[in-house]
Amino acid sequence: MSEFINNQTLRKEKLKEALRQIHAGKPYEEVKAAFAEMLREASAGEIAEIEQALIADGLPVNDIQYLCDVHVAMFRESLDRQQPAEMTPGHPVYTFRAENELVTLQLNETRQLLQKSVIDAGEENLAKLLAAINKLAEFEKHYLRKENLLFPYLEKYGFSGPSAVMWGIHDDIRKAWKAMIKTLQDQSTASRSRTAETAKLFNPMENAMREMIYKEENILFPNALERLTEADWRSIHAQEADFGFSYVTRGTDWPAAGAEESQKPVEVKLNQPVEVKKEERTVSMSDFPLSTGDLTLSQINLMLKTLPVDITFVDENDTVRYFSETPERIFKRTPAIIGRKVQNCHPPASVDKVVRIVEDFRAGKRDTAEFWIQMGGKFIHIQYYAMRDEAGNYRGTLEVSQDLTELRKLEGERRLLEE
C-alpha cells in the first residue's frame, strides 16, 4: 500500500511539473512527450487535485483559466478512456448530461445559420440567427445550477479550485452571448457588418462551450460522483427547479418514490410557547428580547420574509448564514449557499471587489457600500452594511437589495388610504 501511495504522490508531483512547464511557456508537444506515460495513467480526480494544488501554491485562477484548454488537451488521451457513470433519469448529473447533448445540437444549428448568413446577410437570415443565439443563451440555467448548487456542495469537500476556473469561463461565454445578441439587434449597422462581427464573437464562444462540455463530462461530473453522497445529490435535486432546466424536462425515475421526502430537513421546534402574563398582555416564553420589544421566532421569520427587500447575512468569518425567502427574490438564492464562504459566491471577475468591501468593514475603514445596476429592465439598488456589536467589534455583513424601478417613478404625494 505504501508503495502505491508513494507512486501516486510521485506521479502527481511530475504532473504538476508538466503543468508548470506549460505555464512557463515550454511548447506543449515537448511537455506531452516527456510525460506521456504518466499522462496515460492520470485520473480525472488527480487532474482536478493538481489544478487545485497549483492554485494553493499561488498560481492565479485567471492564469489557470486561460490555459485550462491546454491542460485538458494534455490529459485528453487519459480522459477519453474513462467510462461515464451510469445515471438514472432525474439524477442531477443525468440532467446535466442531457442538457449537454442538446446544447451541442443547438451549437451545430447556430453554426449552420451563421454560415448561411455569411453567404446571404439578408434580414431574414439574421432574424433566424438571432433566434438561434437567444436559444443558445437559455443554457444559462445549466451554468446557474452548476454555480449555485453543484459548486457549493463540492466546496464542502475541499474541491474549489476547478469550480472557480469554470465560473470564469461561464462569464466569458455569457458576455459573448450578450454581445452577439446586441450586435444582431442593431438595425443601424449594415447587415453584412453585423454578420461579420457575430462570426468573430461566435467562434471563440463555440470553442469555449464545447470544451466546457468536455471538462464537465470527463472531470467535473466524475469528481462530483466520487465525492458527493446520496444525501447531497438529493438535496441538489430538491433545489434544481428554483433555477430551471435548459431544453429538457427532468426525468422522474430518480430518486425513488419517497426517498426525496425522507431527505427533507426535520423541523426542530425549540421552546414551545408557554402562555404567561406580563404587564397585562399575553407573551410567549419563546420570545426573543430585542432592544425595542420582543418577538417570537415565527414573527421574526415572517417580518424578514415580508420586507420588500432581499437580505443576505454573512458572519464575521465570511460564511453565509442567512438569506430572506421573499416571494420574488431579485438575486436567486437556495439553501446550498448556507455555510458557503462569501468569496465563493461571486464570479472571479467581481470577487476582489467583494473581498475588499468585507476587509474594509472588518478593519473599520467604512460601514457601508452601495451600487445600482440595470438588470432585465429593472433598476436594482444594492447596499452592504457592516454589522457591529455595542463594543464596535465587526460581526458580519448585511447585503440588502431592492428593486427601485417603480419607486423612482413616484411624484408629488399620496395620503394615507387614498386610492
Strand order in the sheet with 378-388: 320-323, 310-315, 394-403, 378-388, 368-375
Specify if 163 maps to a domain: yes
The total of structural domains in the chain comes to 3
Residue bearing the bigger pLDDT, 29 or 273: 29
pLDDT at 83: 46
* 99 and 209 both lie in a single domain: yes
pLDDT at 417: 66
- pLDDT above 70 for 269: no
CA distance 215 to 219: 5
Domain boundary among 182, 217, 240: 240
419 CB-near residues (< 8 Å, 6+ apart): none
* 160 and 101 both lie in a single domain: yes
Residue bearing the bigger pLDDT, 308 or 351: 308
- The beta strand positions in 160-280, using DSSP E, are 275-278
* 140 and 23 both lie in a single domain: no
pLDDT at 195: 96
* 48 and 119 both lie in a single domain: no
* 107 and 208 both lie in a single domain: yes
Residue 379 domain boundaries: 307-409
CA distance 375 to 63: 30
CA distance 156 to 320: 13
pTM over cut 0.75:
no
Q: Count the helix, strand and coil residues of the chain and give each as a percent rounded to the nearest 5.
A: 60, 15, 30
- The beta strand positions in 228-309, using DSSP E, are 275-278, 281-284, 288-290, 293-295
Domain boundary among 31, 51, 80: 80
Task: Let me know: does 82 contact 41? Beta carbons within 8 Å.
Answer: no
- pLDDT above 70 for 11: no
Residue bearing the bigger pLDDT, 280 or 305: 305
**Peptide bond just before 255 cis, omega within 30 deg:** yes
| DSSP single-letter state for residue 218 | I
Could you give the count of Cα atoms lying within 13 Å of 95 in the half-sphere of its Cβ? 27
Specify if 368 maps to a domain: yes
We report the CATH number of the domain holding residue 212 as 1.20.120.520
The average confidence (pLDDT) of the chain is 84
Residues 167-201 pLDDT 10s: 999 999 999 999 999 999 998 999 999 999 999 99
Closest CA to 323 of 315, 333, 336: 333
- pLDDT above 70 for 69: no
Specify if 278 maps to a domain: no
Please report, as a single letter, which amino acid is at residue 21: Q
